[in-house]
Structure 1
Amino acid sequence: MSDERTRSGQGSAERPREEEEHAEELRVTDRRRFTEDGQRREDVSEEGITPVDEGTEKTARPEMVPRSEAEQWERRALDAEAKIREITDAYRHHKTELDRARERLERDQRSRVLEALARSFLRVLDALDGLEMALEHSREGESPLAEGVRLVHRKILDALAAEGLERIEVVGETFDPELAEAVATVPVEDEKDVNRVIREIRPGYRLEGRVIRPAQVHVGIAAAKTDG
């Protein structure tokens, strides 16, 4: 009997120790942010874990880069900078060449357009020459018909001027072979009229500064002196 009591007492003493060990194995961390009565717990963060005191964290020291490695990175940076300059210079050069090519193309296109306009204007100017000759002959006896023709002539000139056509004024100016064609010479007494345009036979025109038809004129020359 005494042996059974002894074994029974030992068994009852071992059970609490086993229960305590088992309780330690099943221990869990309470991560609830609020207590059962609805109070917020201060020892639990928003993520449900106990916040760590920043003062307890070990401050990490910056890692020192070896001198040889730093020099290597510096060389790489210099090489990259030189490459960027090279690419930038090449881009600027190609952009300049492209701009010049575009300007040449625009000039060529504009030149072709002006040439086509000039050919069209010359046909109109030939018709205007006929109108002007008719108006010159009708000055002595002015008539309503001549007045109407003169009005039409003026409207045509205004329309051509709106398109960039400009009449060249040469009478009284020094003769310029770039602007006029001398079809005859006229002796003049005044030396100031020598090599000046005395009379215009056919008007000249230019389009945007380019002469498309030179004027036909008479140019003054010094009159021959006779012995008195």
Structure 2
Amino acid sequence: MSTQENHNVEEEMAKQEETVTENAEQQAAAEAAEEQQEVADPVMQELKAAKATIEEQKDKYLRLSAEFDNYRKRTLKEKAELIKNGGEKAISAILPILDDLERALQNMQKADDVKAMYEGIDLIYQKFLKGLSQEGLQKMEPVGEAFDTDYHEAVALVPAPSEDQKGKVLDCVQTGYKLNDKVIRHAKVVVAQ
């Protein structure tokens, strides 16, 4: 074999080695790409699932926010309506008493019997108190009770007629009222000291 042939054989062997190396590198790159694809698929699936969950939660949040806003507007409207027409029930209860007073005034011009007029007005007064008590109004009866600043307002202090009456209410100058157990007007009273 000549040197030329040796050289050609060596070149050919080098080419074959180079081809084998290239094939091995290509195969390794293909395997790496395939492995990366396998790893990327679950990650992509998880990413898609996470995006879907985010969109679902965002939709729920927007719906809940809109629902709460509607609730807030509705309750404000109902509250304004209650404030505007809150006295309707009480006024409706008083209207028949107003009618009775009108009739009493008309009959006072014709009547000569003062006692009968007094009895009629007293009946209207009792009807009026009954109607107000049905609405939750309570009249305070402070005479004889111990003076209590939560319910009474002292307008005068007088010497106590006896020792056991000290600190007690002797007289009521102006009646006090409670509405559903809340004082709406304190009773103005005379207190023994």
TM-score between both structures, scaled by the size of structure 2? 0.47
TM-score between both structures, scaled by the size of structure 1? 0.41
Larger-Rg structure? 1
